[in-house]
Amino acid sequence: MNRNQMQPPLKCSFWQVYDALKKLPGNSVDSLRTTGKGVEFSATASITRDGREFINLPHNNRIYEGDWGYTTNSMGKDGQRIGQYARPLDEWCERK
């Protein structure tokens, strides 16, 4: 799968965002807005059954460390679109 990096690059690392989420009640932030249509969403720091950490998003989208900074994740044949969530998360983290 050929994935595109986000431009401009994200400023916070995956771990900065994940750790900031972990400090919140429920490991979650609400009231973020997607890029483009501005749809409100929440994001949660989560762990898979096998111990991998990820950011849980609407529509069963996930951002793993290796997906951070790309417009799509590595799930499925073509990946799921995550850029519209990653940019607001990055901006939120930068303000923290």
As a whole number of angstroms, the distance between CA 4 and CA 13 comes to 17
What pLDDT is stored for residue 78 in this prediction?
87
What pLDDT is stored for residue 35 in this prediction?
96
With respect to residue 3, please indicate whether it lies within any of the assigned structural domains. no
With respect to residue 53, please indicate whether it lies within any of the assigned structural domains. yes
As a whole number of angstroms, the distance between CA 85 and CA 88 comes to 6
Rounded to two decimals, the pTM is 0.94
What pLDDT is stored for residue 29 in this prediction?
98
With respect to residue 4, please indicate whether it lies within any of the assigned structural domains. no
As a whole number of angstroms, the distance between CA 91 and CA 74 comes to 22
What pLDDT is stored for residue 77 in this prediction?
86
With respect to residue 8, please indicate whether it lies within any of the assigned structural domains. no
As a whole number of angstroms, the distance between CA 1 and CA 89 comes to 24
With respect to residue 61, please indicate whether it lies within any of the assigned structural domains. yes
With respect to residue 41, please indicate whether it lies within any of the assigned structural domains. yes
What three-state secondary structure class fits 94?
Answer: helix
What pLDDT is stored for residue 31 in this prediction?
94
With respect to residue 27, please indicate whether it lies within any of the assigned structural domains. yes
What pLDDT is stored for residue 2 in this prediction?
79
With respect to residue 47, please indicate whether it lies within any of the assigned structural domains. yes
Q: What is the CATH number of the domain that holds 50?
A: 3.30.70
Mean pLDDT in each 10-residue stretch from start to end of the chain (96 residues)?
91 98 97 96 98 96 97 92 97 94
Domain span at 34: 14-95
The domain total for the chain is 1
What pLDDT is stored for residue 69 in this prediction?
97
